[in-house]
Amino acid sequence: MRLRRFAFTVLMILSVSAMLLAGGSKEEAASASGNPVLRVAMECGYAPYNWTQPTDANGAVPIADSNDYAYGYDVMMAKLIAERLGYDLQIVKLDWDSLVPAVLSGTVDCVIAGQSITSERLQMVDFTTPYYYASIICLVNEGSEYENAQGVSDLAGATCTSQLGTVWYDVCLPQIPDANILPAQESAPAMLVALASGRVDLVCTDMPTGQAALIAYPQMRLLDFSGSDDDFQVSQEEINIGISVRKGNTELLDAINGVLATLTVEDFNRMMDEAISVQPLAQ
């Protein structure tokens, strides 16, 4: 879920280009079964939200134009929505910067990829109600001088990084006093490798990503300052994660919101726990 942001001007260029190259969205395109198809975009590389795997184990879904399969929390949510609405599901694998342009152009019908519902994104797409709520945490290696930090101020002077185009990198890391902020990493796996290799003292991410990281990297330790007076300061929009659709597509927006209204925070957490439990360790 990602608590991600992007450079607004760059994304506008991508979005306009995409709109010029393609036509409008049509989620009613029929599948071989005769059912309408819901085309859902995600990165397929951001466990536990979404990842790529070689088989359909645990209920993974084929990735369009690929021999691989996608699974994770976002795929679980996409499957549930498609089933409830009577659609066949198609997962489209795209890089992060291509997700919103794909919705705008009609290449896909919606994005389920851990997008936070920011005011910047709301200028270009419509969002559903949240389908997950994620708090911000830090990860350090066992034995780190920051292992027992009780708040952001205790991280003073740390060498750190996070993922490119995220509020973790753009908003949170600058709040650490005297932080030595290294260039942002291209992906969440690259961010975790930077920490595991000792190139940085800590990384900032969200709770599900941190929980998943502890499985793949048991030497890491999770720092959660939520509820304290020395936590990262972020707006509510940056921790509410929604599903984006093309602006004005109220039919699909209302339909998805109808499904989400039947779910509780406990349902979200249960699904996320399940995704974490089956994620590939390499993700």
Alpha carbon distances (Å) from 30 to 44, 190, 201, 230: 24, 38, 51, 52
Burial of 200 (0-12, 13-18, 19+ CB in 10 A): buried
pLDDT at 275: 96
Which pLDDT tens digits describe the chain residue by residue (283 residues)? 454 444 443 444 344 444 434 444 444 455 667 899 999 999 998 889 999 999 999 999 999 999 999 999 999 999 999 999 999 999 999 988 899 999 999 999 999 999 888 888 899 999 999 999 888 999 999 999 999 999 999 999 999 999 887 889 999 999 999 999 999 998 888 999 999 999 999 999 999 999 999 988 999 999 999 999 999 998 877 788 999 999 999 999 999 999 999 999 999 999 999 999 999 865 5
Burial of 212 (0-12, 13-18, 19+ CB in 10 A): buried
pTM of whole model > 0.95? no
Do 267 and 212 lie in one domain? The reply is no
Distance (Å, rounded) from C-alpha 261 to C-alpha 267?
A: 11
Phi (first) and psi of residue 160, to 5 degrees: -150, 165
| DSSP-assigned letter for residue 147 | T
Do 229 and 265 lie in one domain? The reply is no
CATH number for the domain that contains residue 195: 3.40.190.10
| DSSP-assigned letter for residue 150 | -
Q: Is residue 21 part of a domain?
A: yes
Do 256 and 169 lie in one domain? The reply is no
Do 19 and 147 lie in one domain? The reply is no
Count of domains in the chain?
2
Residue range(s) defining the domain that contains residue 144: 136-235
